[in-house]
Structure 1
Amino acid sequence: MQRTTLILDRSSALRETFGIEASWWSNAFVTDLQALVLRVTGIPAHITTTIQIAAGAIEEPLLILSGDTPHLPENRIRDAYTLLANGVDVVIGLCDRGGWYALGARQSTAMGRIPVTLEELRPWLDGLQRRGLQVAHLPLWFRITYPSDLATLAVALRTMPSNYAPTTRHLLGDSANALEREWGA
């Protein structure tokens, strides 16, 4: 089964809260997500700022990841593609503050207009159900929306394997020595 993974570039949204540093974080997040997708699927992810156009041209199973989730557990990507391969029409991973971090479809045409804002999400999900599409939910996760989320991200990365989000870890100042000192090693 051919797979297509798109990473939604969140630079403009990050710029609103991160200011001038948004480009550093956005580049790090996307780099780490691309490496994660390649590691999990063996197929490179494509970066896009316009998911409507990109998704409309894809006929195989499609997964869209929010570009502000470099810490996404790889099993979420595997689970999404497994669900799609087993007949689920649409898979969605919701965020703790609303919105989504992952959105997938067995056929991109099943999704229709993809919700970008929180206000569009509930009516979109209701529309899928009215059309009789089978929707599966991935576990709740969090995106990096505010600078204060970087502290939460640093804590989350400490529990993950060292090959997770290396570029983001570097920007956070995480190193093996710092983590060893923190844990008293």
Structure 2
Amino acid sequence: MQRVTLILDRSAALRETFGPEANWWVHAFVADLQALVLRVTGSTAYVTSTIQIATEASEGPLLILSGDTPHLPESRVRDAYTLLDSGTDVVIGLCDRGSWYLLGIRHLSVVGTIPLVSEEVRLWLSGLHRHGVRIAYLPLWFRIVYVSDLVTLSVALRTMPEGYAPSTRRLLGGGAREREWGA
């Protein structure tokens, strides 16, 4: 069974936050996430703004990464696939703001519509629990949503191995970008 890993395109949200320069961030974030997925799982990362296309084509476990998490630790992707391989139906990594940064699905028929808005995530998870779906939770993490998140990202990257998020590190330029943005 082939694993499919998607990177959810967050370019529209990033454009709202970062304006015309959003394309720089989108390209850096996606490049870093693709490198992570290929390094960790050996599977191909598909970039799409809709999940439906990929879910219909997937026969095995599906992993979806939020496209604004270039700093995602390798262990989260490995753990998600390990949990899915061991029989967990849904693996979710929740964000500090209520949405998710990683969503793993063993069988797509179990989950119904996948929530993309943070307000819907808790209700969706409650419904899955009521139907006996086995859910595993990964540790809390953060997405890059606001300009101020660039400071948090910069600090997080300083504590991670050099190979993490090289495109994003170059774009941050040792903290100059955060200062430029007023973060």
TM range (shorter): over 0.9
SS at match of 2:63: strand
How far the C-alpha of 1:45 sits from its partner, in A, is: 0.8
| TM alignment of 1:68-79, pairs within 5 A | 68-79=68-79
- Letter of the aligned partner of 1:92 in structure 2? I
Contact 1:2 1:60 in 2 (8 A): yes
RMSD of the alignment, in Å?
1.4
SS at match of 2:147: coil
| TM alignment of 1:162-177, pairs within 5 A | 162-174=162-174
Gaps of 5+ in 1: 179-185
Superposition TM-score, scaled by structure 2 size? 0.92
Q: Give identity over the alignment, percent.
A: 70
1:50 aligned onto 2:55: no
Gaps of 5+ in 2: 177-183
Contact 2:97 2:118 in 1 (8 A): no
1:35 aligned onto 2:38: no
How far the C-alpha of 1:111 sits from its partner, in A, is: 1.8
Aligned length: 176
Moved more, 119-128 or 143-152: 119-128
Match of 1:156 in 2: 156
1:3 aligned onto 2:11: no
| TM alignment of 1:118-133, pairs within 5 A | 118-133=118-133
Deviation string, structure 1 residues 45-76 (Cα, Å, up to 9, x no partner): 11110012322321200100000000000000
Q: Which contiguous aligned blocks of 4+ residues in structure 1 show a shift greater than 2 angstroms?
A: none
Match of 1:90 in 2: 90
Contact 1:56 1:109 in 2 (8 A): no
Superposition TM-score, scaled by structure 1 size? 0.91
- Letter of the aligned partner of 2:167 in structure 1? T
- Letter of the aligned partner of 2:124 in structure 1? W
SS at match of 2:138: strand
- Letter of the aligned partner of 1:33 in structure 2? L
Contact 1:38 1:44 in 2 (8 A): yes
- Letter of the aligned partner of 1:8 in structure 2? L
